[in-house]
Amino acid sequence: MAERPEDLNLPNAVITRIIKEALPDGVNISKEARSAISRAASVFVLYATSCANNFAMKGKRKTLNAGDVLSAMEEMEFQRFIAPLKESLEVYRREQKGKKEARKDKDKKADSEEQDKSREEENDDDDERMEEEEQNDEEEVDN
């Protein structure tokens, strides 16, 4: 667990980036306002985590899952966040599935290339043996 309350705050760089993305160009925000938003975001995340943890405990689990977070949003009366969260979750899952498939394809391609290389080496060895046998046959004929 955190040793100091500040350890529970979200990183300032992340908060600043989110704020900049949310505001129109040319709008500045004071350091105090950024700090207040950061604290509010940290409290929100902790509260949501606590509520989601309660759902996980009811399910006799120690790991929070997406369903727990969605249920927590509903319990916290943030229903308007549920649809965007579900959409983001689907996008995330598709991306992860695509990455997993790309990795599988890459592994299959690597295995295929490895097998091709192995076959080429075997063919090269066979060619060398055949050349040696031909040379031996020629030497025998000469003798």
pLDDT at residue 26 is higher than 80 = yes
- Pick the residue with more confidence: 3 or 97? 97
The pLDDT assigned to 12 comes to 85
Could you read off the pLDDT of 45-56 as tens digits, one per residue? 999 999 999 999
For 112, the 3-state DSSP assignment is helix
Helices 79-142/66-75 angle, 10° precision: 170
| pLDDT tier for residue 137 given thresholds of 50, 70 and 90 | low
Distance CA 12, CA 30 (A): 13
- Check if CATH label 3.40.50.2020 holds for domain 1-77: no
Could you read off the pLDDT of 101-112 as tens digits, one per residue? 888 888 877 777
Domain ranges of the chain: 1-77, 83-142
Radius of gyration of the chain (CA): 31
Size (the chain), residues: 143
